[in-house]
């Protein structure tokens, strides 16, 4: 049984490697046969060299740190306000009915559209990027929290009522944990969206960060570094996604959502 | 009387503005420490009546008094046990049992001690760190029972508590609830649609009929405990209940040539 599991893992890793290798091979083939201007489509080797350059001279880690700290600030703000507002609004049906139209109107607007106002109100620097991440992460968190709270099984509320559990204990001991699997799912979606908009935010309003790295490389006509930056953004986004997936899995096990063991 | 239910009716207004009467002028008096089964087909209002006694809902007309006080809201003195257990899946067994004690403002150590005691009473000491989804249905209902008993309620209200269990587990749980009832001297009101379950458990069986929900008759079960499900006296009472529901074939006289 154990060796089967190990074999399965190996096969999975091989699949990932061969998929990536095939992708790079096609890319190289296009570069070799197409005779494109190197600045229009840099070869994989060139990009790899560019990546090495960025890692070696410390540019990457500086920009990555800046981006990550903006991301964490904006995302944390979105999570805290999204969950707390979501709990209140999910619990007060009447207030939510009143607020929902506005939320639904604002939700589909790309955070970038707010950029003119953000610059007017907050200037340039770290803040605009943080605000954009906040907007991107806020709506998925809010909406999943509201719907999580509204879907809490009424039997839990009856039990709490019967045992004399009053507010604020009702919120923290019953409603929040009961809604948490759904909230965690919203946090996962919010993370992906926020990461996408981090780069966009840094491309229009910052002098540092991974998004800026791309713009800066374009300005100096280094398309290999542009692609190197894109690849780094992809990798770090993937790592963040995996991390939150681990958290989600842990929560589901803890909540008994995914644990099928029954006697 | 300990619990007096006087002329209690309950009607719901439906979407098309018509009213549906679920309970119609129910009178019922229950002594302290009695084991009462509310027995009837679905739609006879037995669960509605239980909810009214619990205080989850209020009667349209009539009053329910317990120990002289009119019921207006739920109380920790009467705990409901649901068919789907109502356990919190994110808490393990012992934390679930502690839930009711948390509202009683006891010290952590004291809570733990009481919880352990009741988990032992229902025989789940080996499973106190498990989470509810890891347990079988019967075990989950034991946890719910321990959680209810831990707050020392005077009355247990059980809403088809064993309805989701298989026949064998169900009989074990019936033995268990009878043992606990005798040991802890609670008043129990137990909703069921299982005739044998009612005859096995009840001091008195309240037979209800549907549309609208009414008490048809009350059958005393004067058998000594622990009852033998296959004894002649047991079967006689079971027979009587069957007759009340018109579930017996009419006795026809056959002529032979």
Q: What is the DSSP string of B87-152?
A: --TTS-HHHHHHHHHHTTT--HHHHHHHHHHHHHHTT-GGGTTS-GGGS-HHHHHHHHHHHHHHT-
Among chain A residues, the shortest Cα distance to B90 is held by A255
Average pLDDT for B164-187? 90
Helix boundaries (H) for chain A? 2-34, 44-56, 59-91, 93-106, 115-122, 126-150, 154-162, 169, 176-205, 210-219, 223-255
Best interface-test mutation with B: which of A163, A176, A255 has the largest number of B CBs within 10 A?
A: A163
Partner residue facing B86 (CB), from A159, A165, A256: A159
Q: Tell me the per-residue pLDDT of A93-118, one tens digit each, with 9 for 90 and over.
A: 899 999 999 999 999 898 888 888 88
Do residues A193 and A114 both lie within one domain?
yes
| Domain harbouring B6, CATH code | 3.40.50.300
Whether residue A260 is predicted with pLDDT greater than 60 in this model: the reply is no
The reported pLDDT for the residue numbered A262 is 36
Do residues B227 and B111 both lie within one domain?
no
Are A257 and B79 in contact (CB < 8 Å)? no
Among chain A residues, the shortest Cα distance to B88 is held by A156
User: Rounded CA gap, B169 and A16, in Å?
Assistant: 49
Best interface-test mutation with B: which of A162, A170, A181 has the largest number of B CBs within 10 A?
A: A162
Are B88 and A156 in contact (CB < 8 Å)? yes
Sheet holding B35-39, edge to edge: B78-81, B155-159, B187-192, B35-39, B204-209, B214-220
Average pLDDT for A19-48? 85
- R_g of chain A, CA atoms, integer Å: 23
List of chain A residues whose C-beta atoms are within 8 Å of the C-beta of residue B82: 155, 158-159
The reported pLDDT for the residue numbered A123 is 82
Percent of chain A with pLDDT over 70: 96
Average pLDDT for B105-130? 90
Average pLDDT for B63-83? 92
Partner residue facing B89 (CB), from A163, A164, A255: A255
Do residues B216 and B231 both lie within one domain?
yes
Do residues B191 and B162 both lie within one domain?
yes
The reported pLDDT for the residue numbered A256 is 63
Inside any domain, residue A262: no
Do residues A98 and A80 both lie within one domain?
yes
Are B102 and A165 in contact (CB < 8 Å)? yes
**Domain boundary residue among B98, B126, B152?**
B152
Do residues A13 and A74 both lie within one domain?
no
Inside any domain, residue A132: yes
The reported pLDDT for the residue numbered B199 is 94
Q: Does B56 touch chain A (CB under 8 A)?
A: yes
> Which DSSP letter does residue B25 get?
E
Q: Which residue has the higher pLDDT, B128 or B254?
A: B128
Whether residue A257 is predicted with pLDDT greater than 70 in this model: the reply is no
Do residues A199 and A127 both lie within one domain?
yes
Domain that holds residue B27: 1-77+156-257
Whether residue A263 is predicted with pLDDT greater than 80 in this model: the reply is no
Do residues A70 and A31 both lie within one domain?
no
The reported pLDDT for the residue numbered B196 is 92
Do residues B173 and B232 both lie within one domain?
yes
Do residues B57 and B166 both lie within one domain?
yes
Average pLDDT for B71-82? 92
The reported pLDDT for the residue numbered A261 is 40
Do residues A175 and A70 both lie within one domain?
yes
The reported pLDDT for the residue numbered A259 is 43
**What number of CA atoms fall less than 13 Å from residue B220's CA on the CB side?**
3
For residue A105, what are the contacts with CB-CB under 8 A and spacing of at least 6?
Answer: none
List of chain A residues whose C-beta atoms are within 8 Å of the C-beta of residue B75: 162, 164
Are A262 and B100 in contact (CB < 8 Å)? no
Do residues A113 and A27 both lie within one domain?
no
Q: How far is CA A172 from each of CA A22, A56, B112, B195, rounded to the nearest angstrom?
A: 50, 48, 20, 42
**Domain boundary residue among B108, B135, B152?**
B152
Do residues B117 and B73 both lie within one domain?
no
Do residues A236 and A120 both lie within one domain?
yes
Average pLDDT for A212-239? 88
Are A262 and B136 in contact (CB < 8 Å)? yes
Do residues B256 and B172 both lie within one domain?
yes
Residue A117 CB neighbours (<10 A)? 11
Q: How far is CA A216 from each of CA A13, A220, B24, B204, rounded to the nearest angstrom?
A: 35, 6, 80, 86
Confidence tier at B254 by pLDDT (50, 70, 90):
low
- For B222, the 3-state DSSP assignment is coil
Q: Provide the number of structural domains found in chain A.
A: 2
User: Rounded CA gap, B141 and A195, in Å?
Assistant: 45
Do residues B27 and B121 both lie within one domain?
no
Partner residue facing B134 (CB), from A155, A177, A259: A259
Mean pLDDT rounded to a whole number for chain A: 87
Q: Do the Cβ atoms of B93 and B132 come closer than 8 Å?
A: yes
Do residues A24 and A117 both lie within one domain?
no
C-alpha torsion sign, points A4, A10, A12, A18: negative
In 3D, which of A70, A72, A74 has the Cα closest to residue A206? A70
Do residues B52 and B163 both lie within one domain?
yes
Whether residue B33 is predicted with pLDDT greater than 60 in this model: the reply is yes
Do residues B138 and B237 both lie within one domain?
no
Tell me how close the Cα of A173 comes to any Cα of chain B, in angstroms.
9
Are A162 and B80 in contact (CB < 8 Å)? yes
Do residues A73 and A14 both lie within one domain?
no
Whether residue B30 is predicted with pLDDT greater than 90 in this model: the reply is yes
Among chain B residues, the shortest Cα distance to A158 is held by B56
- Residue B53: enclosing H or E segment and its boundaries? helix B46-54
Do residues B24 and B115 both lie within one domain?
no
Partner residue facing A259 (CB), from B76, B133, B139: B133
User: Rounded CA gap, B26 and A199, in Å?
Assistant: 69
Are A262 and B84 in contact (CB < 8 Å)? no
Q: Provide the number of structural domains found in chain B.
A: 2
List of chain B residues whose C-beta atoms are within 8 Å of the C-beta of residue A180: 90
User: Rounded CA gap, B133 and A254, in Å?
Assistant: 10
Average pLDDT for A4-8? 84
For residue B178, what are the contacts with CB-CB under 8 A and spacing of at least 6?
Answer: B200, B201, B225, B226
Are B103 and A162 in contact (CB < 8 Å)? no
The reported pLDDT for the residue numbered B177 is 92
Complex ipTM = 0.86
Tell me how close the Cα of A210 comes to any Cα of chain B, in angstroms.
39
Confidence tier at B250 by pLDDT (50, 70, 90):
low
Inside any domain, residue A260: no
Rounded to two decimals, the pTM is 0.80
Helix axes B137-150, B108-121, angle to 10 degrees: 130
Domain that holds residue A173: 43-255
The reported pLDDT for the residue numbered A35 is 76
Are B133 and A174 in contact (CB < 8 Å)? no
User: How many residues does the structure list for chain B?
Assistant: 257
Confidence tier at B256 by pLDDT (50, 70, 90):
low
Do residues B67 and B27 both lie within one domain?
yes
Do residues A165 and A237 both lie within one domain?
yes
List of chain A residues whose C-beta atoms are within 8 Å of the C-beta of residue B126: none
Do residues A233 and A173 both lie within one domain?
yes
Among chain A residues, the shortest Cα distance to B74 is held by A162
Q: Tell me the per-residue pLDDT of A178-217, one tens digit each, with 9 for 90 and over.
A: 998 889 889 999 999 999 998 888 887 778 888 888 888 8
Confidence tier at B252 by pLDDT (50, 70, 90):
low
Helix axes A223-255, A210-219, angle to 10 degrees: 170
**Domain boundary residue among B104, B133, B152?**
B152
């Amino acid at each position: 049984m154990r060796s089967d599991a190990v074999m399965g893992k190996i096969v999975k890793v091989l699949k990932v490697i061969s998929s990536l290798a095939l992708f790079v091979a096609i890319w190289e083939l296009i570069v070799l046969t197409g005779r494109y201007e190197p600045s229009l489509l840099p070869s994989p080797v060139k990009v790899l060299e560019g990546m090495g350059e960025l890692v070696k001279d410390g540019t990457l880690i500086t920009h990555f740190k800046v981006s990550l700290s903006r991301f964490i600030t904006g995302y944390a703000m979105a999570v805290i306000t999204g969950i707390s507002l979501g709990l209140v609004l999910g619990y007060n049906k009447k207030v939510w009915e009143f607020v929902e139209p506005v939320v639904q109107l604002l939700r589909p607007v790309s955070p970038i559209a707010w950029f003119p106002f953000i610059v007017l109100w907050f200037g340039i620097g770290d803040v605009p990027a943080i605000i954009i991440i906040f907007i991107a992460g806020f709506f998925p968190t809010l909406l999943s929290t509201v719907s999580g709270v509204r879907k809490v099984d009424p039997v839990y509320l009856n039990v709490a009522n019967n045992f004399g559990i009053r507010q604020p204990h009702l919120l923290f001991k019953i409603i929040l944990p009961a809604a948490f699997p759904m909230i965690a799912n919203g946090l996962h979606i919010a993370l992906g969206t926020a990461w996408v908009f981090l780069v966009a935010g840094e491309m229009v309003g910052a002098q540092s960060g991974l998004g800026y790295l791309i713009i800066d490389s374009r300005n100096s006509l280094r398309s290999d570094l542009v692609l190197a930056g894109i690849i780094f953004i992809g990798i770090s986004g993937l790592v963040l996604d995996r991390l939150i997936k681990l958290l989600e899995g842990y929560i589901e096990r803890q909540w008994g959502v995914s644990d099928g063991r029954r006697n | 009387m300990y619990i007096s239910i006087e002329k209690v009716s309950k009607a719901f207004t439906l979407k098309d503005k018509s009213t549906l009467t679920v309970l119609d002028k129910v009178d019922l008096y229950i002594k302290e420490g009695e084991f009462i089964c509310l027995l009837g087909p679905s739609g006879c209002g037995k669960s509605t009546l239980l909810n009214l006694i619990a205080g989850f809902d209020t009667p349209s007309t009539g009053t329910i008094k317990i120990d002289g006080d009119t019921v207006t809201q739920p109380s920790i003195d009467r705990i409901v046990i649901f068919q789907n257990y109502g356990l919190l899946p994110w808490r393990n067994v012992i934390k679930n049992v502690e839930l009711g004690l948390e509202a009683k403002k006891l010290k952590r150590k004291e809570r733990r001690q009481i919880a352990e005691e009741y988990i032992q009473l229902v025989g789940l000491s080996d499973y106190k760190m498990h989470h509810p989804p890891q347990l079988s249905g019967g075990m989950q209902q034991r946890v719910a029972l321990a959680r209810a008993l831990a707050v020392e309620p005077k009355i247990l209200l059980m809403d088809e508590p064993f309805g989701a269990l298989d026949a064998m587990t169900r009989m074990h749980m019936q033995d268990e609830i009878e043992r606990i009832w005798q040991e802890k001297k609670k008043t129990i009101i137990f909703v069921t649609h299982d005739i044998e379950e009612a005859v096995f458990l009840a001091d008195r069986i309240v037979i209800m009929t549907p549309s609208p929900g009414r008490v048809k008759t009350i059958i005393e079960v004067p058998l000594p405990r622990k009852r033998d499900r296959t004894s002649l006296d047991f079967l006689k009472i079971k027979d009587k209940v069957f007759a009340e529901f018109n579930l017996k074939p009419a006795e026809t006289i056959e002529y032979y040539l």
